[in-house]
Amino acid sequence: MLESPTLMLRDLPHEERPRERMMTYGADALSNAELLAILLRTGTQNESSVHLAQRILQQAGNLRQLVDMSMTELTQIKGIGNAKAIQLKAGIELGRRLALSRHLETPVISCPRDVADLLFEQLRYLQKEHFVCLFLNTKNHVIAQETLSMGSLNAAIVHPREVFRAAIKCSSASIICAHNHPSGDPKPSPEDVQLTRRLMEAGNIVGIDVLDHIVIGDGTFVSLKEQGLI
């Protein structure tokens, strides 16, 4: 639903207002801008909350980039003060926690998809590479998870020493490595393959198996083991 900057919500028919549309048709029927408008609650003196929400999305670029915006970046948008920025950040955080809530019980890893499902919402929107290790017991239950490196936009630096120190500390029987590609493309780089093989060699020495390395993209993933790269 689009409207001109000068058209206020009070000028719209009752059934076309975001809150009323949500009550009638459900949240699925609303556009991203309408959902944001409900979080914002009010617009500015010269524009409705829906138009303000549309402008936020335009300046952010897309929802993914909006998720990554800081409080400072949000308040630099005309019409967004601390209160509205807090409302938006709170809504985003609730969505993130909801996505993670199904993983609160001890996860069991039986295939690469289990790893991807566990880590998607944590890694897919990050703007730098994060290298994460899942530490498993003998029954493939995840007993611990740790981020061991945060790299630049195109490289994560991690040393086997840090990986296996953490694995030994939690008495892990095996580990699964994972990291994100901020570009959204999960295709493993030669460096990803080289690092994984180096970790596997170190694991053989200390008696802790490296079962797989998962590269997380935007809604997609690649298992180096499934690809025959390790």
Cβ atoms 230, 196 nearer than 8 A: yes
Q: What is the pLDDT of residues 2-22, one digit of tens each?
A: 444 444 545 554 445 778 888
List, as one string, the DSSP characters of 118-181. Answer: HHHHHHTT-SS-EEEEEEE-TT-BEEEEEEEEE--SS-----HHHHHHHHHHTT-SEEEEEEE-
pLDDT for position 22: 86
pTM over 0.75: no
What fold is seen in the domain 112-223?
Cytidine Deaminase; domain 2 (3.40.140)
Q: What is the pLDDT of residues 76-117, one digit of tens each?
A: 998 899 999 999 899 888 887 776 655 556 788 999 999 999
Strands in 79-155 per DSSP E: 130-136, 142-150
The DSSP symbol for 222 reads E
Instruction: Decide if pLDDT at 140 tops 70.
Output: yes
Q: What count of Cα atoms within 13 Å lies in the side-chain half-sphere of residue 75?
A: 9
Q: With respect to CATH, is domain 9-102 assigned 1.10.357?
A: no
Show Cβ contacts of residue 220 under 8 Å, excluding neighbours closer than 6 positions. Answer: 184, 186
Closest CA to 39 of 112, 98, 91, 116: 91
Q: Where are the domains of the chain?
A: 9-102, 112-223
pLDDT for position 15: 41
pLDDT for position 228: 92
| pLDDT average, residue stretch 113-126 | 88
